[in-house]
Amino acid sequence: MPVLPGAEPYRHEGGDVGVLLCHGFTGSPRSMRPWGEYLAEHGLTVSVPLLPGHGTRWQDMQVTGGEDWYAEVDRELRALRARCARVFVFGMSMGGALTLRLAARHGDAVSGIVLVNPANKVHGVAAHALPVVRHLVPTTTGLANDIAKPGQDEVAYDRVPLHAAYELRRFLRRVDGELPQVTQPLLLLRSPQDHVVPPADSARILGRVSSTDVTEILLEQSYHVATLDHDAERIFEESLAFVGRLAPGAGGTAVPGGTRGGGTTGG
């Protein structure tokens, strides 16, 4: 099945510090591409894989699940580790959950993580009915393009396959159980006006990880897909500063002036 225009994976060979970027549920690398290109311009090695079942048609997601999505980012992390001295993992929404599992399972092989509006739970009154409903109704309304900035398109499905939603629910539960194993430095950026993932998800994550180097920043001008929204540049700059602090001189990175904000929260 052909990949949708704009949904292609992105890779860039840079210096000896690598960054793996994980996109969200029903989305595609399009939501992470500007972020990846920004990091590449600053000398980092970058990988933005396309998750199985994504970026083609929603029917393809019906035969995939959390372990398939995780296996893809796990392979990419191992490939980056083979050619980079230090590797960071960034993720948005479900990509945040994938990032957290990588951190929990790979330990010191992941130098730090950045989360943007990370998902921790499938919400809504219908969530508990997914085990049954998925056999009766194939899809529901999509979650795509929750973006305040006009003219943006994350290249995501306009339908949510309910079997995949059921798989996501199961996967997020497993990741939640692994959160205490996350010890890496963590930067979390979230949008108070997120119409897909509620603030409770970020609070749950921050309350359960074992990281002690934790920074939380609010993205006041953006909705869920903040990497394509009004606060995108701030996300890019804060994440580059985060990498630069933990891996000084990586790819020529430097701490941007005048971009620090938000508060620091012990995890």
Please check whether residue 36 is in contact with residue 12, taking contact to mean a CB–CB distance below 8 angstroms: yes
Options 28, 31, 47, 93, the catalytic residue: 93
Is 194 an annotated catalytic residue?
yes
Is 195 an annotated catalytic residue?
no
235-242, long-range: CB < 8 A, 24+ apart: 235/35, 235/116, 235/189, 236/34, 236/35, 236/38, 236/39, 238/114, 238/187, 238/189, 239/35, 239/39, 239/90, 239/114, 239/187, 240/38, 240/39, 240/42, 242/88, 242/112, 242/114, 242/185, 242/187, 242/215
Options 224, 229, 231, 239, the catalytic residue: 224
Give the residue from 112, 196, 154, 167 showing the smallest Cα distance to 23: 154
Annotated ligand binding at 92? The verdict is no
How far, CA to CA in Å, does 178 sit from each of 3, 100, 166? 33, 8, 19
Give the residue from 211, 37, 193, 10 showing the smallest Cα distance to 107: 211
Annotated ligand binding at 25? The verdict is yes
Options 23, 28, 47, 194, the catalytic residue: 194
Is 224 an annotated catalytic residue?
yes
- Would you list which residues are annotated within the binding site? 25, 94
- Would you list which residues are annotated within the binding site for substrate? 25, 94
Catalytic residues: 93, 194, 224
